[in-house]
Amino acid sequence: MGVGIAVGLSGFAFGVTSAGGGLTVAQTCALSLLVFTGASQFALVGALASGGNPLTAAAGAFFLGVRNAFYGLRLSQLLALPRAVRPFAAQWVIDETTAVALAQPTRRSVRIGFTVTGLSLYTLWNLTTLLGAVGADAIGDTDAWGLDAAGPAVFLALLAPMLKTTMERAVAVAAVVLGLGLLSVLPAGVPVLVAALAAPAALYVEGRRRPGSGGRPGTGHGAPGEGR
C-alpha cells in the first residue's frame, strides 16, 4: 500500500536523524514503538539534538501530539469501537490512519481501512526506524537525499482529498497563515494548535452569515484568511 511505503521512507529518515542527533539505537526505536506519531518524534529528537532541555523538548512533542485527540474525536464516531478495544486502537490514532479512515464510505470499510493502515504503518515505521538508526553512519546526511521532504509530501497527499469545498479550502489557508505566522512568537508545537482554531472560526463566520445554518457539510462559504 502506497501510504505505507512512503511512510516507511520517513521512518528511515527519522531513524537516521535521531541517531545523527545523538540518540542511541534503543532510544530511537523506543520512540517509534511507544510514541508512534512522526511529527512529535522529529520534534523531540530535533530539540534534544540542538541541546534543548529534555522536558521542554517533550512538551513541544506533546503539543504536536495533541492534534491526535481531535482525530480520535472524529474516529470514535466513525469506528464506533467497543470501549474495551479503544485503549488498543488509541496508539494507531495518527494523521495517516485518520485520513484513510475518513476517505471510506461505510463503517465496515472505515474499520478495515483504519486497521490495515494502522497495522502496516506501525510495522513499517518501526522496521524502517531500526534500519535508519543502525544504518545512520553509512548514509550520512539524509537531507542530501531529500528524505526530509517525504514527511510534508505525505501530509499534503493526505490533505488534498479533504479540500473539496470552499469552506475546507478557506480553513486550510487560514491554518497555514496562522501556523507559519505564529511560529516565531510561540513555543514549538503551539502554533499548530492555534492554527486549529481556523476551524471553529470559519464555522462561526459562516454561522453569522447564514443564521440557523449548521446543516449539510459542503455548502459553506468562506474567504481565505478569515481565521483571524
Which 97-156 positions form the footprint of other proteins (CB under 8 A)? Answer: 98-99, 102, 143-156
Range in contact with other proteins (rule: CB under 8 A) among 92-100, 107-115, 117-125, 128-136: 92-100
Size of the site for other proteins (CB under 8 A): 100
Query: Is residue 200 within the footprint of other proteins (CB under 8 A)?
Result: yes
Range in contact with other proteins (rule: CB under 8 A) among 48-56, 107-115, 120-128, 132-140: 48-56
Query: Is residue 49 within the footprint of other proteins (CB under 8 A)?
Result: no
Query: Is residue 9 within the footprint of other proteins (CB under 8 A)?
Result: yes
Give the phi and the psi of residue 77 in degrees, each rounded to 5: -70, -45
Window 208-227: residues binding other proteins (CB under 8 A): 214-215, 217
Closest by CA to 4, choosing from 120, 153, 159, is 120
Write a three-state SS string for the chain. Answer: CHHHHHHHHHHHHHHHHHHHCCCCHHHHHHHHHHHCCHHHHHHHHHHHHCCCCHHHHHHHHHHHHCHHHHHHHHHHHHHCCCCCCHHHHHHHCCHHHHHHHHCCCCHHHHHHHHHHHHHHHHHHHHHHHHHHHHHHHHHCCHHHHCHHHHHHHHHHHHHHHHCCCHHHHHHHHHHHHHHHHCCCCCCCCHHHHHHCCHHHHHHHHHHHHCCCCCCCCCCCCCCCCCCC
Query: Is residue 82 within the footprint of other proteins (CB under 8 A)?
Result: no
Query: Is residue 179 within the footprint of other proteins (CB under 8 A)?
Result: yes
Range in contact with other proteins (rule: CB under 8 A) among 104-112, 113-121, 129-137, 162-170: 162-170
Among 117, 125, 191, 226, binds other proteins (CB under 8 A): 191
Least Å distance, CB 70 to other proteins, is 4
Dihedral of CA atoms 75, 104, 61, 36 in degrees, nearest 10, equals 100
Place of cell 512568537: 185
Among 25, 27, 126, 224, binds other proteins (CB under 8 A): 27
Query: Is residue 75 within the footprint of other proteins (CB under 8 A)?
Result: yes
Range in contact with other proteins (rule: CB under 8 A) among 33-41, 109-117, 118-126, 127-135: 33-41
Q: Which one, 137 or 141, has the nearer CB to other proteins? A: 141
Among 19, 57, 130, 133, binds other proteins (CB under 8 A): 57
